[in-house]
Structure 1
């Protein structure tokens, strides 16, 4: 994990203004990485070698993207909502990790060794898991509107969709802010 933290530090060394306030760390520590993994922002380790967790390039990209978005003022809840629709290409673009840092020194694992973590915030629970599933339940995709408001949609949206939604939502955000229901910050 120490190597992962160091690679995050190196990836953020350029083009990173740091956190906008003192509430979040510029570089995640071990505890933060474990928390991000617990809440589903970062994938579980690829596997274990003794007591050492093994991480790969995707973990690095996830952590760097989280830090870059926090530096833009996004909350973890907003980042979680945005991660739902994030494709591998979008993650690469959002993180802007230099290629040299993406060199994977960790051996590939088999599906039996590291199953992907279920996306509990986006996936419909399987029948028979003890969770009641209403008819028509589907994954949702979040669009941050500003002031802490998030619009949930049943389908992924493009950047063009996001711009048009933001323009159309302006009157609603004004109303919500006037009633003290949001804090008025922009995303």
Structure 2
């Protein structure tokens, strides 16, 4: 029996329960109180939320860390922080740091009521496993496709993909440097029209 592993819909319900007790909502009124499937996929793309913990068939599975990440993001948004600022603070945060920011009841993290996923094999996140050591006679760097990447939301739906995760200072510099490009893209009608100012779903 697997405890504390959930489908995306079950994860969203746990986020709703975690926020139900104390969540004033985002101050600008443009952010959803509970993230939907599209927002969660966006958060995963930009590194705010980890990739799924595994797969059962074609169903992605999520665990307690994902719950902490999502609730922490919504609490920071309720305090008026932008997604870029939240990303700079929480991307790569430890479980202990996320727990402080999210304040999720232990019962929701442990899946104490009943397990959300029935018995059966769960495929591990092979992409998150450490690569096997190469033979001493043939050392080789990992292929480019296997290296971690970082995504930065520029605005209007534009995403900058980098070969490394930027730090907090990089985000501010990138935002300044990207402004002329965003102006050009906006002038040519190449930006999404249904996104927030930071280019992301809420």
The alignment's TM-score, normalised by the length of structure 1, stands at 0.60
Q: Which residue of structure 2 lines up, in the alignment, with residue 91 of structure 1?
A: 98
Q: Which residue of structure 2 lines up, in the alignment, with residue 142 of structure 1?
A: 168
Distance 1:18 1:110, change over 3 A: same
Q: Which residue of structure 2 lines up, in the alignment, with residue 128 of structure 1?
A: none
Q: Is the 8 A contact 1:41 1:83 kept in 2?
A: yes
For residues 76 and 91 of structure 1, the distance between their equivalents in structure 2, rounded to whole angstroms, comes to 16
Q: Which residue of structure 1 lines up, in the alignment, with residue 185 of structure 2?
A: none
Select 1:74's aligned residue among 81, 94, 119: 81
1:103 positional shift: 1.6
For residues 91 and 5 of structure 1, the distance between their equivalents in structure 2, rounded to whole angstroms, comes to 17
Q: Which residue of structure 2 lines up, in the alignment, with residue 24 of structure 1?
A: 31
CA offsets per residue over residues 99-121 of structure 1, 9 Å max, x none?
Answer: 00002546896766351693626
Q: Is the 8 A contact 2:53 2:63 kept in 1?
A: yes
Select 2:150's aligned residue among 120, 126, 134: 120
Does the residue aligned with 1:53 lie in a helix, a strand or coil?
A: strand
For residues 92 and 60 of structure 2, the distance between their equivalents in structure 1, rounded to whole angstroms, comes to 27
- Structure 1, unaligned runs of 5 or more: 122-131, 144-148, 153-187
For residues 119 and 73 of structure 1, the distance between their equivalents in structure 2, rounded to whole angstroms, comes to 27
- Structure 2, unaligned runs of 5 or more: 1-7, 130-146, 152-161, 175-202
Q: Is the 8 A contact 2:55 2:124 kept in 1?
A: no
Whose relative contact order is higher, 1 or 2, with alpha carbons under 8 Å and at least 6 apart?
2
Give the 5 Å matches for 1:1-187: 1-84=8-91, 86-104=93-111, 105=115, 113=126, 115=128, 118=148, 120=150, 141-142=167-168, 150=172
The alignment's TM-score, normalised by the length of structure 2, stands at 0.56
Does the residue aligned with 1:48 lie in a helix, a strand or coil?
A: strand
> What value does the CA root-mean-square deviation take over the aligned residues?
3.2
